[in-house]
Amino acid sequence: MSDKSEKKTPLAADPAAVTEETSGARAESAVGTDGNGNVQVESAAAAVIGDEYASLGQWALMWKKFRKHKLAMVGGVVTAIFYLIALFAEIIAPFPTATYNREYPYAPPQRIRLILRTDEGTSFAPHVLGLDSVVDPRSFQRTYTPNPEKVIPVRFFSHGQPYKMFGFIPGSLRLFAPAESGQPMYLLGADRLGRDLFSRIIYGTRVSMTIGLVGVFLSLFLGVLLGGISGFFGGAVDNIIQRIIEFLQSIPSIPLWMGLAAAIPQTVPPLQVYFLITVILSILGWTGLARVVRGKFFSLKTEDFVVAAELDGCSNLRTIMRHMVPSFMSHIIAVTTLAIPTMIIAETSLSFLGLGLRPPVVSWGVLLQQAQNIRAVSMAPWLLLPGIFVIIAVLGFNFLGDGLRDAADPYA
């Protein structure tokens, strides 16, 4: 009996050591019991992480999860750059969109050179080389060669041709422009009229990016409103709205676009055409979101917080907008971000086919109309560059939307 008792009772010769070992055990694990009395061991690191996340709000959790998505961060930066370009297009573009030079049709891209070498030495002087053109008497094809003797100085943050930012703020400051007004400078080449393609792409960024933004917000409003009404009230209202959605979704998209675009008279000003195209895209884009919102409302309208809002005397509109919609706002943000590229592609496709925006409005789709001619593309492949900008913008939005969608469930 004494041997057994000795084995069961550990020797505590050094109480400090026992205390140190016990505290180390506590540091490595946390012991608790569940409802049935079973012992559960949880690591202390997991407990600390759980406490850290438990103290954060919904938006803080989303941001913490979003920062771990590297492609989403890249997409966010790319999207922000595009919207900064759209906001300050007049300053970034060296020339207005209507500036042309018939002496340089389909001029090739020129490179800005920072170092100027002369007989007197080497100096820092940004410039581009002038172009000499020769027309083939047989094919009538014009070829360009850089002329090192024709140096066109380039000035950064200089004053160029005047403009009105946003249509009412006068200014003339340009990020960079030729030192002498009227000198040719084509960083991304020229079109058939000798217009600077780089400047036109910059101005086209404003139209193509904002038409997607405005169109998605209109679709968001219609989708949340009609989908919320359908799911909240149900019955006959739900049947009517769902039949309208099914009717719109059953119509082929391309013929519908063609019919609606053809209904716009040719005499309508470009600004009104821009607005009408935005409305057309919004009418076609709200049905999918409305179906999602309807399903969410069906599952939420029996929840306790909704019943409490109704018992408190909240109107139906306040219950929908202040209590039900915020409960899945993260999902709406993700869907909206992923819908903007669809709007951009739709506008580009319509304008490319001649059914959307028309000159003198400048958008990426309008610029790509010149790429329909195979002969023009073979002579000037840089006419396809607006398509590259479309791809980059769409990828940036898709990466951003994927990150927001993952961050919408930060506990996953």
- Cα–Cα nearest to 105, from 348, 364, 375: 375
- In this prediction, residue 51 carries a pLDDT of 54
Task: Tokens for 73, please give them.
Answer: 């961060």
Question: Does 285 score more than 90 pLDDT?
Answer: no
- In this prediction, residue 25 carries a pLDDT of 42
Check residue 380 and report its DSSP letter: -
- In this prediction, residue 412 carries a pLDDT of 54
26-50 pLDDT, tens per residue?
444 444 444 444 444 444 444 444 5
Which of 20-24, 146-150, 229-233, 304-308 is predicted least confidently?
Answer: 20-24
Which of the two residues, 296 and 331, has the higher pLDDT score?
296
Task: Quickly count: other Cβ atoms within 10 Å of residue 389's Cβ.
Answer: 20
Which of 84-98, 194-208, 249-263, 294-308 is predicted least confidently?
Answer: 249-263
- In this prediction, residue 322 carries a pLDDT of 82
Task: Tokens for 291, please give them.
Answer: 């179906």
Question: Does 9 score more than 50 pLDDT?
Answer: no
- In this prediction, residue 52 carries a pLDDT of 58
Which of 70-74, 120-124, 137-141 is predicted least confidently?
Answer: 137-141
What is the CATH topology of the domain spanning 73-85+201-407?
Answer: MetI-like fold (1.10.3720)
Return the C-alpha torsion angle 144, 147, 152, 156, nearest 10: 80
Report the distance separating Cα 194 and Cα 360, nearest Å.
15
Report the distance separating Cα 382 and Cα 390, nearest Å.
14
pLDDT above 90: percentage of residues in the chain:
21
Helix axis angle for 253-262 and 270-285, nearest 10°, is 150
Report the distance separating Cα 254 and Cα 349, nearest Å.
10
Domain range list for the chain = 73-85+201-407, 110-185
Residues 343-375 as b/e (b if ≥16 CB within 10 A, e otherwise) read bbbbbbbbbbbebbbbeebbbbbbbbbbbeeee
Structural contact between residues 371 and 377, judged by C-beta atoms closer than 8 angstroms: yes
- In this prediction, residue 316 carries a pLDDT of 81
Report the distance separating Cα 163 and Cα 71, nearest Å.
37
Return the C-alpha torsion angle 350, 351, 356, 357, nearest 10: 160
318-328 pLDDT, tens per residue?
888 788 887 77
345-378 pLDDT, tens per residue?
888 887 887 777 888 889 998 999 888 878 788 8
Write down the H helix ranges in 151-269: 197-233, 235-250, 253-262
The answer to whether the bond into 326 is cis (omega within 30° of 0) is no
Task: Tokens for 117, please give them.
Answer: 């070498």
Averaged over 398-411, what is the pLDDT? 78
Secondary structure of 203-235 in the HEC alphabet? HHHHHHHHHHHHHHHHHHHHHHHHHHHHHHHCH
Task: Tokens for 176, please give them.
Answer: 């960079």
Averaged over 403-410, what is the pLDDT? 76
- Cα–Cα nearest to 70, from 403, 405, 333: 403
Which of the two residues, 16 and 154, has the higher pLDDT score?
154
- In this prediction, residue 387 carries a pLDDT of 92
